[in-house]
Amino acid sequence: MKTLISGGTVVTAIDTVAADVLIDGEVIIAIGAPGTHGWADQADKVIDATGKYVVPGGIDPHTHMELPFGGTYASDTFESGTRAAAFGGTTTIIDFAVQVKGESLIDGFDTWMAKAEDECAIDYGFHMIAGDINEQSLSDMDVLIDRGCTSFKLFMAYPGVFYSDDGDILRAMQKAAATDSMIMMHAENGMAIDVLREQALERGETDPVHHSLTRPSVTESEATHRAIVLAELAGAHLYVVHMSAKEALEEIAEARDKGLPVFAETCPQYLFLNVEDHVASEGFEGAKYVCSTPIRKREDGHQDALWMGLATNDLQVVSTDHCPFCMDDHPILGTQKQLGVGDFTKIPNGLPGVEDRFQLIYHGGVVEGRIDLNRWIELTSTAAAKIFGMYPKKGTIAVGSDADIVVFDPDIDWTKSVSQHHMDVDYSPYEGKEVKGKVETVLLRGTVIVDGDEYLGQKGDGRYLQRERVSVHH
Ligand code: DUC
Ligand code: ZN
Ligand code: ZN
């Protein structure tokens, strides 16, 4: 089956060109001048992209479908969450398999694979959360690398749950250095944060806003600095997840300026939301915006610094940390955010975003003049493909690449709302936000899975991605 996407402007991380794209089966077989002779005749299907951008499908390298957290589960399943991702122009996710204390790394991986297998609407890979570093887990890292899971996430936060101490972190980093795998870090000083939380509760400070206030930016920048020092000591590649503090970003910039293989991402919630207008909302509304790292104060200028970091490549990726919890009871999972009424420490941490990211970065980045079209694609697709061993199969429009393609209409004005999204969560953090640009058609490996408001794919279309070891240096 051959598909031709004609008349559009192809945008990659490098080029913006008027071109037709010819697909055979699952891959792109040719890119040619508009109206290339004979292509329309041989195509079984022609998609008219006149006036539209033709871009690589988005890659979100940080999602948590069905994550058990804070006494409940993230409300999107692999089925609902990946379908929503497709509507938002994302054709690949990398989710996190979890090893809990006392369990083997491989058992954790197998459990997550079983949850995702035959459920996903788009292609998927896994990072492994190593929650219990010991001799066995270190040697099991080799097994997972052979299975295409080439990145391991550690937590400096959440003592007693996912937390690893500096010794364990160093051991895991040494192993990662020896195997060309990536260490991903949740960089917050969890020990210090726990003290601040306890003291806030003792003072009777129980509202959602205290979640943000008890995780001051120094707890993020200190941990980021420590992670960099340990990675340098081990000779490991480091990728710091969900950065929200400008001081932490300065640590990343300094490390990169020294030539260290240090990478970092931020997420839409840190670029668009703030304490004053969101987390500090009346009553319990602020719980919608409780996540870790936290949303920070507008007046402290973190957002401008993060956007600048995205523009200058101090930050390389925008992911989502998609981890939704409902404000009212979920029909199957029951009480979610409201577990924390009267005690902010019990609010499950996380926000939805997997459907929003690609479009929001277009709007806030390109439309509002902070980055150009090519950087939009690099931040939301290409860089993640390179950093996490999927390039050039994923992350670009090139001959031989998977035909994961989004036809994007840059001229549509619309308003974001829970009433139009497909994520299984009962609110939108961006409710009422007026945006420009909309995903129109989405192809996964050559097959149209989204056409406007219609879903044409099937559960299980998505395939597991065997990822390569790390080969990026900077
Ligand atoms: N942060 C969140 O907000 N949710 C899930 C895990 C995390 O680190
Ligand atoms: Zn995290
Ligand atoms: Zn996360």
DSSP 443-469: EETTEEEEETTEE---TT---B--PPP
Q: To which residue do tokens 């990169």 refer?
A: 256
Share of the chain above pLDDT 90, in %: 99
Question: Would you place residue 107 in the very low, low, confident or very high pLDDT band (cuts 50, 70, 90)?
Answer: very high
Return the structure tokens found at 277. Answer: 């207008």
Q: What is the residue-averaged pLDDT of the chain?
A: 98
Tell the burial category of 372 from Cβ atoms under 10 Å away from its Cβ (0-12, 13-18, 19+). Answer: middle
Q: Give CATH 3.20.20.140 domain extents, the chain.
A: 57-374
Global pTM value: 0.98
Residue 473 has pLDDT above 90, yes or no: no
What CATH class has 2-55+397-455?
Answer: mainly beta
Residues 6+ apart with CB under 8 A from 412: 436, 437, 438
Say yes or no to pLDDT of 439 above 90. yes
Question: How far apart are the CA of 277 and the centre of ligand 3, in A?
Answer: 23
Average pLDDT in the 197-206 region? 98
> According to the model, what pLDDT value does residue 171 have?
98
The whole-number average pLDDT for the span 156-178 is 96
- pLDDT score for 215: 98
Radius of gyration of the chain (CA): 21
Identify any residues that bridge with 126 across adjacent strands, giving them in sequence order: 95
Q: Is the pLDDT of residue 474 over 90?
A: no
Could you give the CA distance from residue 454 to residue 116 in angstroms, rounded to a whole number? Answer: 23
Ligand 1 centre from 203 Cα, in Å? 25
Q: Is the CATH number 3.20.20.140 carried by domain 57-374? A: yes
Q: Counting atoms of ligand 1 from 1, which one is nearest the CA of 186?
A: 8
| Ligand 1 cavity residues, CB under 6 Å | 64, 69, 186, 291-292, 321, 323, 349-350
Assess whether pLDDT exceeds 90 at residue 1. yes
Examine the pLDDT at 140 and tell me if it is beyond 90. Answer: yes
Is the per-residue pLDDT at 87 higher than 90? yes
CB atoms within 10 A of CB 24: 16
- The residue-averaged pLDDT of 304-314 equals 98
- pLDDT for 426 equals 98
Distance 292 CA to ligand 3 centre (A): 8
> Does residue 373 surpass a pLDDT of 90?
yes
Rounded average pLDDT over 104-117 = 98
Alpha helices in 265-382 (DSSP H): 268-272, 302-312, 357-361, 373-377
Residues of the chain with CATH 2.30.40.10: 2-55+397-455
Between CA 262 and CA 182 the distance in angstroms is 10
Alpha-carbon dihedral 166, 171, 174, 179, rounded to 10 degrees: -130
